[in-house]
Structure 1
Amino acid sequence: MPINIIIQEKRKEIGLTQEQIGAYLGVSTPAVNKWEKGYTYPDISLLPALARLLKIDLNTLLCFNEGLTEQEIDHFNNEVGATISTKGFEAGFIMSMEKIREYPNCDKLIHSIALLLDGALIMYGASIDDKEPYEKQITALYERVAKSDNDQVRDNAIYMLASKYLARTECEKAQEMLELLPERTALDKTELEARLFIKQDKLDEAARLLERKLLNVVSEVQMILMNLAEIEIKEGESQKASHLAELSQKVMKLFELGDMQALAIPLHVAILQKNVEDSISFLKSYFLATFTPWDISKSSLCQHIAVKVKTSKAVKEEVVKEKQENLGKQVRLALLSEFENNPKYMFLHSNAEFKQLIEDLYSKC
């Protein structure tokens, strides 16, 4: 809540007029009126007296302790996502930083913005020449909430920092972060919560809880298989790595997570093996999959967490189609950036089929 609204509401709560506030503080009535309309702000020397007069502390007056509800955070993140999609990453980034300055102690907001910007930089950052300043500021956001009093926010931020440090081969920093994370408990309250909801006939809440849990578990399985495959390659066991890649593909298809997810590990393994033929084959398949991104609403395992648009079937299909087309385009732009700039694709740069794939990507963006 902005300071002008706080002054206005608290003044009315204690039954004072603008004239009385002005008289007590030695300022004019129009000055107080301008404060409440947000045109000007009280002089810093008046803040302690104003807070005492309004019977609040300075933190409340200056909004330092104020937070946002999860619904407000979700709504703001949707606005940022739409801004990035229509006006570009920088516009969304500026919008996010302004919100954080408005709510500097809202750890949930800061963490959710860091996650959103992190993903958006991958998806929409293909046209950005220098990503490093953005990456540093996003990392700084994680570091900022890595000391949060909120256990979930803190642990998630620490996990993300460990992942980032590991990707940059800053192994000592990654180890420090990992040591801060709690050991995973064998007792998971999700199933108990779901059973409680079922007993209370809160079936939608139970289903959404379990569907999110299922997606998290499948994602974890995929990451485990990817890491095991990489180990097999480093140990010289290419056939075992390929077998794990095939298993991951079957798992993703079994859980209806779409072709892009199913192809992720086979493609990763082929690239690590520097297998030109398989790499080109999987890249072509992945490229084709970008035209039909995963639609959560069509998954039988995610019906309760899928966004339900209250509109006609024709309009709904048009909305989904537009979102899929935009997502597919952004994925293709991200692929182009990866193909051209990531050293791991260097072994393909002289290949005629790979060059043709690059041309096809450009023509479809």
Structure 2
Amino acid sequence: MPMNIIIQEKRKEIGLTQEQIGEYLGVSTPAVNKWEKGYTYPDISLLPALARLLKVDLNTLLCFNEGLTEQEIGHFINEVGATISKNGFEAGFTMSMGKIREYPNCDMLINSIALLLDGALLMYGSNIDDKEPYKKQITALYERVAKSDNDQIRDKAIYMLASKHLACMEYEKAQEMLDLLPERTALDKTQLQASLFIKQNKLDEAAMLLERKLLNVVTEVEMILMSLAEIEIKEGDSKNSSYLAELSQKVTNLFELGDMNALATPLHIAILQKNVEDSISLLKSYFLATFTPWDLSKSSLYRHIAVKLKIAKIVKEEVVKEKQENLGKQVPLTLISELENSPEYMFLHSNAEFQQLIEEYRTKF
């Protein structure tokens, strides 16, 4: 919020006129009027007295603690996403860093941008020769937010840093980050809040809360099963690993998370096992699944979330449609790039059926 708006709003909050402000500070009423319209600014010597008069601290008056609302941040994130989709990652990155310079103390904004850029670099960064400078700057954003006074934002940033250190095999640093995270509380606020909403007959609010909780829990179960299956491989029990991968697929299908999610664990395990036949078969299914994105509106478990998304889609029909089309193209393109360049898929490169599959989908997209 600009200084002129702060002066105007705070003056009205305490019930003073522009004339009274001028009298207290020894300036004319037109001068105060110009401050509030943003034509001029108070002399620096007047700032401490003006802050005391308006009952704010200097940081607030000078906009040092200026932030954005959650809605404003969401709108900006959508704009950056559209820019990246249309003009490339570099354009969205430049746009994002400019916004951070404008709001350097808004932790929610910085964290949201870091998460967006992190995902976008993976999805849209296949044409960037050197990704390391971008990766370092994104990590630096997480490190800034990891010092936030907001517990939720700080913990999310620390979690992402731990994940990055783990991916880079920096195990000591990863442990340092994990040690900073609180253990999950045994008291579940979500269930209690939902019960309260039901008692108050706020059924939509209760359903939305519980559906989001269900999504989080099922996703966590899927990740746990994937990790357990990976452990079985490392311990030499290929049979049990395959069983856990199948179980993960059943759970995902049971809780209606879509074909792509259902195939994720079996594909991951087949790759780790270097099982050429299963890997190629699952890759074919995974590519086909990208043509039919997960549709919440067809699920009976998440219908309240779907209704909310449908309303948002009506409001921004063309934007949503364009994003879905771009995402539908980008997912397989990113997968193709990963299959061709990542060392973990090298065992497939000499297989003619694999090469044919890659060529087929590269031509399509």
Does TM, normalized by the shorter one, top 0.5?
yes
Structure 2 unmatched ranges of 5 or more: none
**Separation (CA, whole Å) in 1 of partners of 2:84 and 2:168:** 26
**Separation (CA, whole Å) in 2 of partners of 1:50 and 1:37:** 16
1:116, CA displacement in angstroms?
1.9
Structure 1 residues 60 and 311: CA distance shift in structure 2, 3 A: closer
RMSD: 3.1
**Separation (CA, whole Å) in 2 of partners of 1:286 and 1:188:** 35
**Separation (CA, whole Å) in 2 of partners of 1:47 and 1:322:** 49
**Separation (CA, whole Å) in 2 of partners of 1:305 and 1:221:** 20
* SS class of match (1:305): helix
C-alpha deviations, 1:159-187, integer Å up to 9, x for none?
11111110111000001011111122222
1:158, CA displacement in angstroms?
1.3
Amino acid at match of 2:364: K
Structure 1 residues 128 and 4: CA distance shift in structure 2, 3 A: farther
Amino acid at match of 2:212: R
1:199, CA displacement in angstroms?
0.3
Q: Map of 1:49-68 to 2, 5 A cutoff?
A: 51=51, 56-68=56-68
In the alignment, which residue of structure 1 is the partner of 2:233? 233
**Separation (CA, whole Å) in 1 of partners of 2:221 and 2:326:** 28
Report % sequence identity. 77
1:42, CA displacement in angstroms?
7.3
Amino acid at match of 1:301: L
Structure 1 residues 210 and 4: CA distance shift in structure 2, 3 A: same
- Using structure 2 for the length normalisation, give the TM-score: 0.87
**Separation (CA, whole Å) in 1 of partners of 2:43 and 2:361:** 57
In the alignment, which residue of structure 1 is the partner of 2:256? 256
Task: Return the match for 2:17 from 15, 18, 31.
Answer: 15
**Separation (CA, whole Å) in 2 of partners of 1:337 and 1:246:** 27
1:63, CA displacement in angstroms?
1.4
Structure 1 residues 51 and 225: CA distance shift in structure 2, 3 A: same
Structure 1 residues 151 and 10: CA distance shift in structure 2, 3 A: closer
**Separation (CA, whole Å) in 2 of partners of 1:229 and 1:81:** 34
1:49, CA displacement in angstroms?
6.9
**Separation (CA, whole Å) in 1 of partners of 2:184 and 2:202:** 28
Amino acid at match of 2:168: R
Structure 1 residues 25 and 276: CA distance shift in structure 2, 3 A: farther
1:235, CA displacement in angstroms?
1.0
The answer on whether the counterparts of 2:18 and 2:33 sit within 8 Å (CA) in structure 1 is no
In the alignment, which residue of structure 2 is the partner of 1:276? 276
1:154, CA displacement in angstroms?
1.6
In the alignment, which residue of structure 2 is the partner of 1:197? 197
In the alignment, which residue of structure 2 is the partner of 1:223? 223
Residue 79 of structure 2 is aligned to residue 79 of structure 1: yes
| Comparing 52-61 and 343-352, the one that deviates more | 52-61
1:4, CA displacement in angstroms?
4.5
The answer on whether the counterparts of 1:230 and 1:269 sit within 8 Å (CA) in structure 2 is yes
In the alignment, which residue of structure 2 is the partner of 1:162? 162
**Separation (CA, whole Å) in 1 of partners of 2:346 and 2:43:** 60
**Separation (CA, whole Å) in 1 of partners of 2:321 and 2:169:** 39
The answer on whether the counterparts of 2:313 and 2:320 sit within 8 Å (CA) in structure 1 is no
- Using structure 1 for the length normalisation, give the TM-score: 0.87
Structure 1 unmatched ranges of 5 or more: none
The answer on whether the counterparts of 1:63 and 1:103 sit within 8 Å (CA) in structure 2 is no
**Separation (CA, whole Å) in 2 of partners of 1:321 and 1:6:** 39
The answer on whether the counterparts of 1:59 and 1:65 sit within 8 Å (CA) in structure 2 is yes
In the alignment, which residue of structure 2 is the partner of 1:344? 344
1:341, CA displacement in angstroms?
1.7
**Separation (CA, whole Å) in 2 of partners of 1:312 and 1:95:** 25
**Separation (CA, whole Å) in 1 of partners of 2:88 and 2:120:** 10
In the alignment, which residue of structure 2 is the partner of 1:209? 209
**Separation (CA, whole Å) in 2 of partners of 1:42 and 1:348:** 69
1:243, CA displacement in angstroms?
1.0
The answer on whether the counterparts of 1:25 and 1:46 sit within 8 Å (CA) in structure 2 is no
The answer on whether the counterparts of 2:82 and 2:323 sit within 8 Å (CA) in structure 1 is no
* SS class of match (1:304): helix
**Separation (CA, whole Å) in 1 of partners of 2:95 and 2:7:** 26
Amino acid at match of 1:16: Q
The number of equivalent residue pairs is: 359
Residue 131 of structure 2 is aligned to residue 131 of structure 1: yes
1:40, CA displacement in angstroms?
8.0
| Comparing 76-85 and 4-13, the one that deviates more | 4-13
1:218, CA displacement in angstroms?
0.8
**Separation (CA, whole Å) in 2 of partners of 1:324 and 1:214:** 24
| Comparing 216-225 and 335-344, the one that deviates more | 335-344
Structure 1 residues 251 and 58: CA distance shift in structure 2, 3 A: same
1:269, CA displacement in angstroms?
0.6
In the alignment, which residue of structure 2 is the partner of 1:245? 245
Q: Map of 1:16-35 to 2, 5 A cutoff?
A: 16=18, 33=34
**Separation (CA, whole Å) in 2 of partners of 1:132 and 1:312:** 36
Structure 1 residues 344 and 6: CA distance shift in structure 2, 3 A: same
In the alignment, which residue of structure 2 is the partner of 1:69? 69
In the alignment, which residue of structure 2 is the partner of 1:287? 287
| Comparing 269-278 and 99-108, the one that deviates more | 99-108
